[in-house]
Amino acid sequence: MLPTEKLYYQDAYLREFTAQVTSKTALADGKFAVVLDRTAFYPEGGGQPCDLGTLNAAQVIDVRTINDEIVHTTAGDPGDGLLTGRLDWRRRFDHMQQHSGEHILSGILLANYQAENVGFHLSPASCQIDVTLPSLTAEQATAIEDAANAAIFANLPVTGRFVEQTDLSAYRLRKEPGKEFLQIRLVSVEDCDCCPCGGTHVSRTGEVGLLKIRSWEKRKQNIRLDFVCGGRALDDYRQKHELARALSSRFSAPVEGTLAAVERTLEKLAATQSQLAASRKSYHEELAARLLAEAANHGSGDLPVISRVFVNYSAADLQDFAARITAGGAICLLAADDNDGGRTSLLFAAPTATPLPMNELLKQTLSPFGGKGGGNALSAQGGLQGGDAEIILSSARKLLELKKQE
């Protein structure tokens, strides 16, 4: 059987074609594996996802090279004989923009920073490369981005050609191809990059439109760059512009002054939270003293039990109050309801060993309600989504009382 003719190498802009079915296999769930005598569908490979589209009326949901054959997986029977293939052009052109932008970026990184591209990943959500840089500063990222966009705006030609292994010495390659390939496809961006590549690309850099580095992070000994090109860069700008516009309106400040307005608000919030924390400590001191005094008046020989439900308390707030109660010689059973998230948090603590250790008490209390937690004999914390805090604490008190009576 002759190999499939790869139309995507002849014309990356071909959106519709006809081809003969050379084999068709029924798969599970009504799917079919279809091999054609020629195809414009690019199979997954080299970090680039496959093309999608239709064969006649059947959706093409995957394209892969299997045993040197390009296999189209369709969601349904596309028919026999001569078929019409139509590409999802928006997806294909997006891949062309991202992949061509990756070549430009990689060429600049090698030329200006001697940084090699050792990994490329293209998905619907991200476009990333791993490069051999020990670190990257914001100033360097801006310089790299500026150089990449200068190459894009220069509208340089992008070409792809097949060459023999013996002819490679005539080209200045960014990376060497594997020795197992007798014939290699080289993709060149004039004055910027040249390397082996099997992907689809634009014909001139101007079609990449724009390249924006969004973020970077350390990955082992390398730097992983996340970037977007073309339509993705426009979508990214729109999203962030809408966010900037909304924040500008919310804080009654011009866009360029929004960050300062947010920082002022955060400073005020921090000051308010500090005041609230101080007020809560004073409240805890007074409340603990009163509750301990009331418990002492009952004259029980056992450790008194003090339970309380708070609203929108943090773990630190609960711990502060519990410390005051246990310091006064009482068992503390606390709950905090989060009105916004609907979560109930629990903190059980004791000044000394009790008939039912606090971690066991918490476990037995939460079990019927589907909550979880842990700790030790003197202190345990946990929680659950929803639940009535008063009922939960009542259950804990009953469990503790039953254990005392054993």
pLDDT in tens, 374-392: 999 999 999 998 878 999 9
Percentage of the chain lying above the pLDDT 90 cut = 80
Per-residue pLDDT, 83? 97
Report yes or no: 102 and 129 within 8 Å, Cβ to Cβ.
Answer: yes
Evaluate if residue 298 carries a pLDDT over 70: no
CA distance 80 to 264: 68
CA distance 139 to 366: 53
CA distance 276 to 281: 9
Mean pLDDT, to the nearest integer, of 275-297? 90
Evaluate if residue 33 carries a pLDDT over 70: yes
Per-residue pLDDT, 301? 61
Task: Say whether 177 sits in a helix, a strand or coil.
Answer: coil
Per-residue pLDDT, 1? 64
Report which DSSP code applies to 252: T
- Three-state secondary structure of 134-196: CCCCHHHHHHHHHHHHHHHHCCCEEEEEEEEHHHHHHCCCCCCCCCCCCEEEEEEECCCEEEE
Per-residue pLDDT, 2? 77
C-alpha atoms less than 13 angstroms from C-alpha of 231 in its C-beta half-sphere: 12
- The model's pLDDT over 108-138, given as tens digits with 9 standing for 90+, comes to 999 999 999 999 999 998 899 999 999 999 9
CA distance 196 to 190: 15
Per-residue pLDDT, 297? 74
Nearest to 294 by CA among 280, 315, 278, 308: 308
CA distance 147 to 205: 13
C-alpha atoms less than 13 angstroms from C-alpha of 243 in its C-beta half-sphere: 7
Per-residue pLDDT, 125? 85
- Which band of pLDDT confidence, cut at 50, 70 and 90, is reported for residue 300? low
Evaluate if residue 255 carries a pLDDT over 60: yes
Q: Which two tokens stand for residue 362?
A: 């918490």
Q: What are the structural domains, with CATH classification, of the chain?
A: 5-87 (2.40.30.130), 92-248 (3.30.980.10), 269-405 (3.10.310.40)
Mean pLDDT, to the nearest integer, of 286-295? 91
According to DSSP, the β-strands at 193-196 and 69-75 are unpaired
Alpha helix (H) residue ranges in 251-303: 258-297
Residue 87 forms beta bridges with which residues?
A: 53
Task: Say whether 293 sits in a helix, a strand or coil.
Answer: helix
Evaluate if residue 182 carries a pLDDT over 70: no
CA distance 58 to 250: 48
According to DSSP, the β-strands at 82-87 and 69-75 are unpaired
Nearest to 194 by CA among 152, 144, 158, 146: 158
CA distance 171 to 395: 79
Mean pLDDT of the chain: 93
Count H helices, E strands: the chain?
A: 8, 20
Nearest to 248 by CA among 240, 257, 239, 236: 257
The set of residues, in sequence order, having a beta carbon less than 8 Å from that of 31 and lying 6+ positions away, is 61, 73, 74, 75, 76
- Which band of pLDDT confidence, cut at 50, 70 and 90, is reported for residue 208? very high
- The model's pLDDT over 307-333, given as tens digits with 9 standing for 90+, comes to 999 988 888 899 999 999 999 999 999
CA distance 269 to 272: 5
- The model's pLDDT over 45-96, given as tens digits with 9 standing for 90+, comes to 888 999 999 999 999 999 999 988 999 999 999 999 999 999 999 999 999 9
Which strand (E) or helix (H) includes residue 219?
strand 211-219
- Which band of pLDDT confidence, cut at 50, 70 and 90, is reported for residue 39? very high
Evaluate if residue 281 carries a pLDDT over 70: yes
Per-residue pLDDT, 314? 86
Percentage of the chain lying above the pLDDT 70 cut = 98
C-alpha atoms less than 13 angstroms from C-alpha of 91 in its C-beta half-sphere: 18
Q: Which two tokens stand for residue 157?
A: 């030609």
Evaluate if residue 340 carries a pLDDT over 90: no
- Which band of pLDDT confidence, cut at 50, 70 and 90, is reported for residue 303? confident
- The model's pLDDT over 225-240, given as tens digits with 9 standing for 90+, comes to 999 999 999 999 999 9
